[in-house]
Amino acid sequence: MLVVTAQGYGRQGYAMGTDDRLSLVLFSGTDDKLQAAAVLTVGAAAMARPVDVFLQYWALDAFRADRILKDHGVSPEAGPEGERAMRDQGKTHWSELFRQAKDLGQVRIQACADSMEMFHITTDDLDPLVDGIWGVASFFMEADGPVTFI
């Protein structure tokens, strides 16, 4: 249902007229990028900003229930020194940060239907952090502001 507000079209179920939604597309499945995305998500949730996280490709693979806590490596630009620096920092695991973000605020984590098909998986294969499956059109219906691609 669409509701006309002073600032345009709002969505039912969220505060009308708020345009401060954070829309993240997670493509990369390495621990460094997932960590950075999780930090942004917790921060936005603490600031009372709604967050939509759309999982594609290798990020979706990292959210599989049986491998979410496994080592997903780091981006090539990290190098051995960068990887050591990141691991030594001993940060809370990204999956735990996403869990806290969901507890704090309006955070939805959705799997890309096309990537699900690519991996031949169903929602049963995914960690319970994932709320459901969206197509690209459903994602863009929600994300009417800027989209951040990680």
Partner 1 sequence: MSETITKTLDLKGLSCPLPIAKTAQAIRDLQPGELIESLATDPGAVPDFNAWCTSTGNVLVEQTEDAGVFRFVIKKQ
Q: Tell me how far, at minimum, the Cβ of 103 lies from partner 1, in Å.
A: 7
Interaction between residue 92 and partner 1 (CB under 8 A):
yes
Contact 6, 17 (CB under 8 A): yes
Residues 14-43 that bind partner 1 (CB under 8 A): 39, 42-43
Instruction: Give the other-Cβ count within 10 Å of 17's Cβ.
Output: 12
CA 114 to centroid of chain Cα atoms? 16
| Minimum distance from residue 23 beta carbon to partner 1 (Å) | 18
If the CB atoms of residues 40 and 55 are measured against partner 1, the closer one turns out to be: 40
Nearest partner of 106 among 36, 41, 59, 56, judged by Cα? 41
The residues of the shown chain that bind partner 1, judged by CB under 8 A, are 39, 42-43, 45-48, 89, 91-92, 100-101, 103-104
